[in-house]
């Protein structure tokens, strides 16, 4: 037994899957997908063959119409799910038929009232970190990359997008899905349509993605369309917010080399989407909360774009090396933002990240393992330890190298790194070996072991020195003496400045100061959720009950975990009354959250109540 990943049943002694041909029938009334998958293996295999599954019903396993013996493990691992074992006899391909469960951890099925346009149902995926296995059996580890094709049979009034090239939209045919014939589906019904897609580049399974709903789109550049629900105000707002995307792509290419994914389309999902963005290649998923009306939401797009090189082209081998995805991408994002929006915006990002990193180290003070870049996640659900550490400490590590060798030398190194490892999955040691090979002596100038395997924040990390950053932090610190910023001091502040200010307010600030601050600047009413949630978190910690109505409204309006986590955590750390309030709001809002977000809130409750 030689597992390749603590979060997967995948065995290193068994051949990799090189291609999966998926056929998916979407049954909205039952919140179920009935499917078949043709697997092609790297080499023929005899003996046991393992695949990851979660909450799947397996109907059959076939090769040339002959049954292949298979079994599901009697018990389900709480993290890895259920092991599917096939007994192969020199097989290099096989077909599985299966159905998803309404409780699939990757899928959120939305009824019309839960969508933006309120008229049609919607379903979308979120497969990171280990949730692709709840859609189709797979080697669900970033250590294995696959190509795939997909035929989606959906209601004809809806349309589909995927993180793949769109081939065609057409009527269903009898020969589309012979493996599904035994399920008696209405495959060729007149009210159904087929959408076909193909992903020709090899990607890790967590980047598998689709959405089905009543979708419209707007062209915003030669390589970019913005998609959102047709008939909602979101579509036009998103097109305006992201009209500068092509400039960012060109800047990314200058820094990191050719963009290898042809398209960079954007899908703005319903507000329940649990992340700010998801870097699915060719079709980035975004929360509507990034649409702020001032173009600053494009910074999230810059992050997802940067993943096109660091994360999608070069991928962490397992989640124990997640910083290779997110630290690199945070560094790359800030370089793109600096080029497009200027040094001030990039530096404010660094400052907000610096504060966030310090807060995360405090969060993990009882388990410092997860303040390491390279950490041990055996028996750990990666969703439970998701944090800003791999993003911000990873960024700090790379920025430390840049400061040591100079920007031009580091830029040259980055291009070599991307060219060397593109379309591969690597670990921290592989990166460090390449670093030492290409920048000789770097290990004598920077303590690489301390940075990658040490806990906390190294002493040679960087807190921004730009005057605008120091001014805002100083203003926040002055709140301890009762001083609030004047109108002239905040006249040109945007969301980032307010977020930095609020994040740096002293814990000793009094409730009356919070109320006065809001009375003057209307922060609780901000359309920028970064500002609103940061303010409401402070209000909860100060016991300002007059804002609990806005807290409830916010928790019921959005499902982004970046907002749910601090608000629910602040509540459950408070009084018994606060805990009762948190439980009630969650019970009423739960069905509007993605399953991943539901699990995160449940874990917060179990830890603090």
Q: What is the DSSP letter of 310?
A: B
Is 303 known to sit in a ligand binding site? yes
Point out the catalytic residue in the list 196, 304, 360, 402: 304
Distance between alpha carbon 593 and the CA centroid of its chain, in Å?
15
The answer to whether 335 and 255 are in contact (CB under 8 A) is yes
The answer to whether 547 and 524 are in contact (CB under 8 A) is yes
Q: Active site includes 548?
A: no
Is 307 known to sit in a ligand binding site? yes
Q: Rounded distance, CA 183 to CA 180, Å?
A: 6
The answer to whether 126 and 106 are in contact (CB under 8 A) is yes
Q: Rounded distance, CA 573 to CA 599, Å?
A: 18
Q: What is the DSSP letter of 16?
A: P
Q: Which residues contact 306 (CB under 8 A, 6 or more apart)?
A: 252, 256, 328, 329, 330, 332, 333, 336
The answer to whether 145 and 195 are in contact (CB under 8 A) is no
Is 274 known to sit in a ligand binding site? yes
Q: Active site includes 529?
A: no
Closest by CA position to 280, among listed 389, 160, 199: 199
Is 562 known to sit in a ligand binding site? yes
Q: Compute CA distances 265 → 113, 116, 163, 281, whole Å.
A: 26, 20, 9, 9
Is 127 known to sit in a ligand binding site? yes
Is 275 known to sit in a ligand binding site? yes
Is 128 known to sit in a ligand binding site? yes
The answer to whether 141 and 318 are in contact (CB under 8 A) is yes
Is 277 known to sit in a ligand binding site? yes
Two structure tokens written together for 98: 């299966």
Is 278 known to sit in a ligand binding site? yes
Helix H or strand E encompassing 283 = strand 283-286
Point out the catalytic residue in the list 391, 501, 529, 568: 391
Q: Is 553 left (phi over 0), alpha (psi -120 to 50) or beta?
A: alpha
Q: Rounded distance, CA 425 to CA 8, Å?
A: 15
3-state SS record for 360-414: HHHHCCCCHHHHCCCCCCCCCCCCCCCCCHHHHHHHHHHHHHHHHHCHHHHHHHH
The answer to whether 301 and 247 are in contact (CB under 8 A) is no
What residue numbers does the annotated binding site for Zn(2+) cover?
303, 307, 326
Q: What amino acid positions are annotated as catalytic residues?
A: 304, 391
What residue numbers does the annotated binding site cover?
126-128, 274-279, 303, 307, 326, 560-562
What residue numbers does the annotated binding site for a peptide cover?
126-128, 274-279, 560-562
């Amino acid at each position: 037994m030689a597992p390749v990943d603590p979060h997967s049943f995948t065995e290193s002694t068994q051949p990799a899957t090189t291609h999966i041909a998926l056929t998916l029938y979407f049954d909205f009334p039952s919140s179920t997908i009935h499917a078949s998958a043709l697997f092609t293996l790297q080499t023929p295999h005899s003996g046991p063959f393992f695949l990851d599954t979660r909450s799947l019903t397996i109907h059959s396993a076939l090769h040339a119409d002959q049954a292949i013996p298979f079994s599901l493990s009697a018990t389900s691992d709480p993290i890895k799910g259920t092991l599917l074992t096939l007994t192969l006899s020199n097989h290099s391909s096989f077909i599985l038929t299966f159905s998803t469960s309404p409780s699939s951890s990757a899928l959120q099925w939305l009824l019309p009232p839960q969508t933006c346009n309120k008229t049609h149902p919607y379903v979308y995926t979120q497969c990171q970190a280990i949730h692709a296995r709840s859609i189709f059996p797979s080697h669900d580890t970033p250590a294995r990359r696959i190509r795939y094709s997909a035929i989606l049979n959906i209601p004809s009034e809806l349309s589909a997008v995927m993180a793949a090239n769109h081939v065609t939209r057409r009527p269903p045919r009898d020969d589309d899905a012979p493996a599904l014939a035994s399920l008696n589906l209405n495959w060729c019904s007149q009210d159904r349509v087929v959408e076909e897609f193909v992903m020709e580049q090899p990607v890790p399974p967590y980047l598998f993605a689709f959405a089905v709903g009543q979708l419209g789109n707007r062209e915003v550049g030669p390589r970019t369309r913005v998609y959102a629900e047709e008939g909602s105000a979101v579509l036009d707002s998103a097109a305006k917010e992201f009209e500068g995307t092509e400039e960012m792509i060109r800047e990314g290419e200058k820094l990191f080399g050719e963009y290898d994914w042809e398209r960079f389309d954007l899908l703005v999902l319903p507000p329940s989407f649990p992340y700010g963005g998801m870097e699915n290649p060719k079709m980035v998923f975004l929360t509507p909360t990034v649409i702020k009306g001032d173009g600053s939401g494009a910074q999230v797009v810059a992050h997802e774009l940067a993943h096109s090189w660091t994360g999608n082209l070069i991928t962490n081998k397992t989640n124990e090396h997640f910083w290779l995805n997110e630290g690199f991408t945070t560094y790359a994002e800030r370089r793109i933002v600096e080029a497009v929006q200027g040094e001030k915006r990039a530096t404010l990002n660094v400052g907000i990240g610096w504060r966030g990193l310090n807060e995360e180290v405090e969060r993990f003070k009882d388990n410092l393992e997860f303040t390491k870049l390279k950490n041990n996640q055996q028996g750990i659900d990666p969703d439970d330890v998701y944090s800003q550490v791999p993003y911000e400490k990873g960024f700090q590590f790379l920025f430390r190298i840049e400061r040591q060798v100079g920007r031009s030398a580091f830029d040259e190194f980055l291009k070599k790194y991307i060219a060397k490892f593109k379309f591969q999955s690597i670990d921290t040691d592989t990166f460090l070996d390449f670093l030492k090979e290409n920048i000789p002596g770097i290990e004598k100038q920077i303590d690489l072991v301390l940075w990658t395997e040490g806990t906390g924040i190294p002493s040679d990390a960087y807190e921004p020195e730009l005057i605008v950053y120091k001014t805002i932090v100083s203003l926040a610190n002055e709140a301890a003496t009762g001083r609030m910023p004047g109108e002239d001091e905040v006249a040109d502040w945007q969301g980032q400045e307010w977020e930095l200010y609020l994040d740096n307010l002293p814990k000793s600030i009094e409730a009356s100061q919070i109320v006065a601050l809001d009375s003057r600047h209307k922060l609780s009413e901000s359309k920028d959720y970064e500002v609103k949630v940061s303010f409401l978190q402070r209000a909860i910690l100060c016991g300002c009950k007059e804002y609990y109505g806005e807290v409830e409204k916010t928790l019921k309006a959005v499902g982004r975990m970046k907002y749910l986590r601090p608000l629910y955590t602040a509540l459950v750390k408070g009084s018994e009354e606060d805990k009762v309030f948190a439980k009630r709001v969650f019970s009423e809002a739960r069905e509007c959250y993605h399953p991943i977000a539901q699990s995160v809130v449940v874990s917060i409750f179990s830890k603090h109540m």
